[in-house]
Amino acid sequence: MNTHAVTVHQAGNPLVTYAITAVVIAVVMALRWRRMRRVMPLKLERLWIVPALYLVIAIAMFVVAPPVGPGWLFCLVALVLGAALGWQRGRMMRIAIDPETHALNQVGSPAAMLFLVAIVLLRSGARAAIDSGAGTMLHLNTLAVTDMLVALALGLFTATRVEMYLRGRRMLEAARRVS
């Protein structure tokens, strides 16, 4: 019996992949940009939900495939970086308060949207660097990069909402003192 290992490698054109990704991002951004102009109620008591859900997802991912060796340090750095980026993103979100009803509203910020685009581009650049072999110098693999991105996103989502919660609460307290 002749058993030859046949390796099939489909190498797609990377430009086509980048073009498709750019088109998808552009469509999503255009839809978000349109929705961003609407005033949405901001419920401070609900800001914990997204970070809590993502924390559960992150814990599940780390339990199934925990980082190895320096991967933990890289994940911690990514979490701190995500928190710093998230805090800045939260500051960019516009929060308004109705002086009569004291209802909080948020309006999407174009700066916050562009900030997310920059993060996506940074992620794509890091992925390209890993794919080109630069990741081997840092002993990174796809799983390690995924772990770091999970930690970065957890820090980003959490810090954004913590900043918005603290600012919204301060605005409510100030409005109630004036009334």
Question: What was the pLDDT predicted at 42?
Answer: 92
Which residue reads 């209802």 in tokens?
Answer: 103
- Sorted by sequence, the CB contacts under 8 Å of residue 127 that are 6+ apart come out as 145
The verdict on residue 13 lying in a domain is no
> Which pLDDT belongs to residue 116?
67
What is d(CA 77, CA 68) in angstroms, rounded to the nearest whole number? 15
Say whether pLDDT at 178 is over 60.
Answer: yes
Return the higher-pLDDT residue of 179 and 77: 77
β-strand pairing of 39-41 with 94-97: unpaired
pLDDT tens digits, residue range 73-131?
999 999 999 999 999 989 988 899 988 888 999 987 676 677 667 666 666 666 666 66
When mean pLDDT is compared across 35-39, 116-120, 131-135, the lowest value belongs to 131-135
CA distance 94 to 7: 53
Backbone angles phi and psi of 74, in degrees to 5: -60, -40
Asked, for residue 64, whether it belongs to a domain, the answer is yes
Query: Is 18 a domain residue?
Result: no
Considering its fold, how many domains does the chain have in total?
A: 1
Residue 56 forms part of a structural domain: yes
Please indicate whether residue 64 or residue 49 has the higher confidence score (pLDDT). Answer: 49
Question: Measured between alpha carbons, how far is 142 from 127 in angstroms, rounded to an integer?
Answer: 9
On the question of pLDDT at 49 being above 50, the answer is yes
Percent of all residues in the chain with a pLDDT value above 70, rounded to a whole number: 73
Do the domain assignments include residue 72? yes
- Does a structural domain hold residue 30? no
Distance of CA 134 to the CA centre of its chain: 23
Q: Let me know if residue 79 belongs to a domain.
A: yes
Residue pair 41/167 in contact (Cβ under 8 Å)? The answer is no
DSSP class of residue 99 equals: T
Select from 120, 105, 134 the least CA-distant residue to 28: 120
Q: Tell me the per-residue pLDDT of 150-177, one tens digit each, with 9 for 90 and over.
A: 899 899 999 999 999 999 999 999 988 8
The string over 37-74, giving b where at least 16 C-beta atoms fall within 10 Å of a residue's C-beta and e elsewhere, is: eeeeebebeebeeebeebeeebeebeeeeebeeebeeb
Q: Determine which helix (DSSP H) or strand (DSSP E) holds 110, and give its type and residue range.
A: helix 110-131
Structure tokens at 126: 């890091």
Q: What's the pLDDT score for residue 107?
A: 82
* pLDDT for the residue 30: 78
pLDDT at 8 over 70: no
Residue 26 lies in a domain: no
Domain ranges, residue 168: 39-178
pLDDT of residue 9: 45
pLDDT class of 40 with cuts at 50, 70, 90: confident
Model confidence, pTM: 0.70
